[in-house]
Amino acid sequence: MHEFSYEAPTTVDQAVKLLSADGDSARIICGGTDLLIQMRNAVRKPRLLVDVKAIPEMRQISFDPKTGLKLGAAVPCIEIHENQTMRKYYPGLTEAAHLIGSLQIQSRASIGGNLCNSSPAADTSPALLALGAVAKIAGPNGTREVPVEKFFTGPGQNVLQKGEIVVQILIAAPAPHSADRYIRMIPRNEMDIAIVGAGACVTLDGDKVTAARIGLGAVAPTPILAPKAAEYLIGKKLDEKTAERAGELAREAASPIDDMRGTAEYRRHVVGVLTRRALLGAAERARQN
């Protein structure tokens, strides 16, 4: 590995200054579960690493039933999994965080890192898309908020400008009778990377769907929403049949490729299967809320 400097600021302002000062060769490090591999493989050669784990507001989970969730971007996935509020109100996002790598990896990896690494296959991204999450970004010109569906610009690419940091992830408090679910297809049972990931969030009024969002991973250059599939469900009863149809519509949103993890035809097929299962799973939870 090449030589680099390391800083661990304790405020967002300091972090922004450090990042802004060092041209394009500074990188944020949180858990390092993606970045260190990229550095070892010489894919990235940052001269400065800015560690954000010492910034208190980036390490906190705060929830208010009115204003919703402020999830620190640097909170390790394992803390999300162990957090009772997260489990109760955002079970889908929580299970996504708990699928990343192994327990050891989850102790390092963060949702902010998963978001900013911007892999099309990131497990938490479809869950965030389904929840309508918003990234709160701090930068040299102040703060801005970007919905997750507008965050990604390509494989490994996003809207972050020089000096900018995702500080928190903001998610509205769940509506009554709503819930989320995330599932993925991997050839093994653990320790794997999604061939397809599907997140769904549904709100029910009695039997009828009043709101739905579906996020998909690993089937396009970025994690994507499947809006037609979600719109189709509005006003309908969510059952095997309608979920199947929504799955078919979700397939149309996907533009998968062949790679070493799976074929495009297989991925397209599995989008339908997982969308159906995620929707039914979310509805099952929503009925209990």
Angle of CA points 152, 120, 5, to nearest 5°: 75
Confirm if 117 and 156 have CB atoms less than 8 A apart. yes
Task: Report the residue from 173, 192, 248, 257 that binds other proteins according to the rule CB under 8 A.
Answer: 192
CB of 1 to other proteins, least distance (A): 6
The stretch near other proteins (CB under 8 A) out of 18-26, 167-175, 211-219, 263-271 is 263-271
Q: What is the CB neighbour count within 10 angstroms for residue 189? A: 6
Q: Give every CB contact of residue 92 below 8 A, 6+ residues apart in sequence.
A: 127, 130, 131, 179, 180, 181, 182, 199, 200, 201, 278, 282
Looking at the Cβ atoms of 24 and 191, the one nearer to other proteins is: 191
Looking at the Cβ atoms of 68 and 262, the one nearer to other proteins is: 262
Nearest CA to 127 among 189, 81, 161, 187? 81
SS (HEC) of 203-226: EEECCEEEEEEEEEECCCCCCEEC
Rule CB under 8 A: is residue 4 a binding residue for other proteins?
A: no
Rule CB under 8 A: is residue 2 a binding residue for other proteins?
A: yes
From residue 14, give the alpha-carbon distance in Å to each of 54, 73, 77, 111: 11, 16, 25, 22
Q: Which two tokens stand for residue 64?
A: 């208010």
Nearest CA to 183 among 218, 231, 235? 218
Rule CB under 8 A: is residue 187 a binding residue for other proteins?
A: yes
The stretch near other proteins (CB under 8 A) out of 88-96, 106-114, 223-231, 258-266 is 258-266
Pairing state between β 165-171 and 157-158: unpaired
CB of 194 to other proteins, least distance (A): 12
Task: Report the residue from 27, 251, 261, 285 that binds other proteins according to the rule CB under 8 A.
Answer: 261
Looking at the Cβ atoms of 64 and 190, the one nearer to other proteins is: 190
188-193 LR contacts (CB < 8 Å, sep 24+):
190/102, 191/101, 191/102, 193/121, 193/218, 193/261
The stretch near other proteins (CB under 8 A) out of 122-130, 211-219, 269-277, 281-289 is 269-277
Confirm if 80 and 170 have CB atoms less than 8 A apart. no
Task: Report the residue from 82, 205, 231, 265 that binds other proteins according to the rule CB under 8 A.
Answer: 265
Rule CB under 8 A: is residue 85 a binding residue for other proteins?
A: no
Amino acid in position 251: R
Rule CB under 8 A: is residue 240 a binding residue for other proteins?
A: no
Q: What residues pair up with 212 in beta bridges, in sequence order?
A: 202
By CB under 8 A, the residues from 27 to 66 that bind other proteins are 40-41
Rule CB under 8 A: is residue 266 a binding residue for other proteins?
A: yes
Confirm if 79 and 109 have CB atoms less than 8 A apart. no
Looking at the Cβ atoms of 66 and 188, the one nearer to other proteins is: 188
CB of 68 to other proteins, least distance (A): 34
Looking at the Cβ atoms of 276 and 285, the one nearer to other proteins is: 276
Looking at the Cβ atoms of 17 and 269, the one nearer to other proteins is: 269
Binding mask 128-167 for other proteins (x = CB under 8 A): ----------------------------------------
Q: Which residues sit at the interface with other proteins, rule CB under 8 A?
A: 1-3, 40-41, 185, 187-193, 195, 259-263, 265-266, 269-270, 273
